[in-house]
Amino acid sequence: MDRELLIEAVKRQMPEKRYRHVAGVVDTAFVLAQRFGGDPEKAWLAALLHDYAKAWPTDRMERIIRTEGLPSELLDYDKELWHAHVGAWAVREELGIEDEEVLDAVRYHTSGRENMTLLDRIVCLADYMEPSRAFPGVERIRELSEHHLNEALVAGLDSTIAHLLEKGRTIFPLTVLARNDLLRQIRSANGASEAQGG
Ligand code: DGI
Ligand code: FE
Ligand code: FE
């Protein structure tokens, strides 16, 4: 499917305001991919598709999770998490997207996961910091993203976790695993540069 058709297909799934967010994530992911050595084409595509199912009715997402073999534990957690997994399923079904790296980046854009690929990290971070995002701490995330992909992403996950704690909500295990894993990676990268005298 060519780019224009994909854009039209995405626009049909959501109100105009949500599409403006998606367009912001597309631009931001493209810049991050160039900055951190990612594949700009895949970043473009994964960002365009990341919120494909965001505006779908909850009952439709729930039915798909139940009938299409998506992780049923999602149903025990916040509905806000569902659109990522349902979106990955939907863009394969409806748009014929077969690239597993792109599908994973869509699937894990909300929670993150352990061993996030470069593409996962780019899309997840772009989602946090695209220009229309405004929440306490977003400026710090943008600053960190100038040089430090993992640090910026941890700051994003921290802000989500803090928000969930504040609201007394449950935390999806993958979000915690993603944060711990990124912290370990940051630590071992710092340790390595210290060992080199850096
Ligand atoms: O779809 P977006 O609004 O662009 O952003 P997103 O896909 O990151 O969704 C964020 C929402 O998900 C936000 O309201 C927090 C909510 N959420 C609920 N439970 C969890 C969670 N996010 C994470 N990362 N982990 C959770 O356990
Ligand atoms: Fe999302
Ligand atoms: Fe988003």
Helix/strand/coil (H/E/C) assignment for every residue in 94-120: HHCCCCHHHHHHHHCCCCCCCCCCHHH
Among 81, 108, 165, residue to substitute to test ligand 1 (most atoms within 8 Å of Cβ): 81
Print the domain residue range for 82.
Answer: 3-197
Number of structural domains in the chain: 1
CA–centroid distance, residue 195 to ligand 1 (Å): 37
pLDDT at 1: 82
Question: Which residues are near ligand 3, the ion (C-beta closer than 5 Å)?
Answer: 51, 127
Please give the Cα distance from 145 to 140 (Å, whole number): 8
The answer to whether 74 and 85 have CB atoms below 8 angstroms apart is yes
What separation in angstroms does the CA of 172 have from each of 36, 135, 155?
Answer: 28, 21, 17
pTM of the model: 0.96
DSSP state of 81: G
Ligand 1 atom nearest residue 109's Cα: 7
Q: Is the CB of 164 under 6 A from ligand 1?
A: yes
Residue scoring higher pLDDT (31 or 197)? 31
pLDDT at 195 over 90: no
pLDDT digits (tens, 9 = 90+) for 68-85: 999 999 999 999 999 999
Q: Is 109 in the pocket of ligand 1 (CB under 6 A)?
A: yes
Interatomic CA distance for residues 144 and 39, integer angstroms: 21
Look up the CATH number of the domain holding residue 110. Answer: 1.10.3210.10
* pLDDT for residue 192: 74
Hey, what are 46's tokens?
Answer: 């994964």
